[in-house]
Amino acid sequence: MTQLDTLQATTPQKPKLHPRVKALLRPGFLLGFFILSSSIILAVFPGAFAPYDPNAFDFTAIKQPPSWAHPFGTDNLGRDTLSRVIWAYQVDMQIAFFATFFAMVIGVIVGSLVAYHGGIADVLFGRVVDVTITFPFLVLVIAVVAVLGPGLNNMYVAVTLVQWVYYARLTRAEIMTQMTNDYASAGRVMGYSSPRIIFRHLLPNAMTPLITFWMTDMALAILLGSSLGYLGLGAQPPQAEWGVLIAEGRNFITTAWWMSLMPGIAIVLTGLGFSLVGDSLADVLRPRGAS
């Protein structure tokens, strides 16, 4: 025993650089983290960075190409494109969050419950999944928005109504995998309640792919939000939103390409940020001891 104690005392308890910290120092994550944090700062304080009022018309500077005064140029009404792209961060980051968050919460809860309890609920859930994923995603969302009417809030409702199924399906699969581990049975033979087993034991172990999927989904939500904005079903003009901006530039694409290109670049960059962070998180969140 004493030998064991001294052995343990001399063995260093923790390595200098935790492997998880190491995983976070890779260029991919750093770049993604930089993009995402800048996006969030721009979304929270657009006024501090935008050089002009995003909705102020200036008929002396219509369709100006990029210059020092207007780095992203101006649109057909003389509004500064840079300022509009920056103000759009507020809307699009909000879309990234709200169009995915509720779907995730509902999907995770439903998915965990049907996976754990099985039975008729699981069968019904299977049918709902089949029906939902048979329809092309965008068509279904557009149909729901068409019924509810255009606008951001209705878009959130529509996306949540469709997207929760994908989270639930993923959660169900992950929980089922976790349930094959003995610790799930152990929880039951120790007499713990099923909510406790599901939400304290199974779900935390099933979270890694969910968080990765969530990150990717936020990137997709921005794309979807812009697509719906472009189609006139999401954010409504004159509100600055990337999809709306691209749509506004559509008619002038040959004469004022910057009107559509600049918000497009913003979409690509933000999506890239989410994907890079999601990828790195997948590595970092891998269960302990699995390396």
Partner 1 sequence: MSNQQKSLLQVRDLTTTFHSKGRVLRAVDGISFDVRAGEVLGLVGESGSGKSITLRSIIGLARDYGTVEGKVYWKGEDLLSRTEAQLRSIRGSQISMIFQEPMTSLNPLLTVGLQIEENLKAHTELERAARKARAIELLDMVGIPSAASRLKDFPHQFSGGMRQRVMIAIALASNPKLLLADEPTTALDVTIQDQILQLLLSLAKDLNMAIVLVTHDLGVVAQTCDRVAVMYAGRLVETGSVRDVLKRPQHPYTLGLLKSVPENIPPRTPLYSVPGTPPALDALPQGCAFAPRCMKAEDVCMKTKPPLSVIGEGISSACHFLEVAREEVPA
Q: Of these, 5, 17, 60, 127, which contacts partner 1 (CB under 8 A)?
A: 5
Q: Which of 96, 225, 242 is nearest to 152 (CA)?
A: 225
CA distance 274 to 261: 20
Number of residues that bind partner 1 (CB under 8 A): 26
Q: 233-242 burial by CB neighbour count: b if 16+ within 10 A, else e?
A: bbbeeebbbb
* Cβ neighbourhood burial of 243 (10 Å; 0-12, 13-18, 19+): buried
Closest to partner 1 by CB, 22 vs 188, is: 188
- Identify whether the C-beta of residue 234 lies closer than 8 Å to the C-beta of residue 243: yes
Closest to partner 1 by CB, 1 vs 17, is: 1
Closest to partner 1 by CB, 192 vs 257, is: 192
Q: Cβ of residue 180: shortest distance to partner 1, in angstroms?
A: 8
DSSP-derived 3-state class of residue 80:
strand
Q: Does 4 bind partner 1 (CB under 8 A)?
A: yes
Closest to partner 1 by CB, 159 vs 179, is: 179
Which residues, at least 6 apart from 280, have a Cβ–Cβ distance to it below 8 Å?
A: 23, 24, 26, 28, 29, 32
Site for partner 1 in 149-208 (CB under 8 A): 181-183, 185-194, 200-201, 204-205
Site for partner 1 in 262-291 (CB under 8 A): 287-290
Site for partner 1 in 239-258 (CB under 8 A): none
Q: Cβ of residue 187: shortest distance to partner 1, in angstroms?
A: 8
- Identify whether the C-beta of residue 157 lies closer than 8 Å to the C-beta of residue 148: yes
Closest to partner 1 by CB, 137 vs 192, is: 192
Closest to partner 1 by CB, 48 vs 120, is: 120
Residue 80 vs residues 47, 57, 87, 174: alpha-carbon distances, Å: 13, 9, 11, 47
Site for partner 1 in 110-139 (CB under 8 A): 118
CA distance 152 to 173: 31
Contacts to partner 1 by CB under 8 A? 1, 4-5, 8, 118, 181-183, 185-194, 200-201, 204-205, 287-290
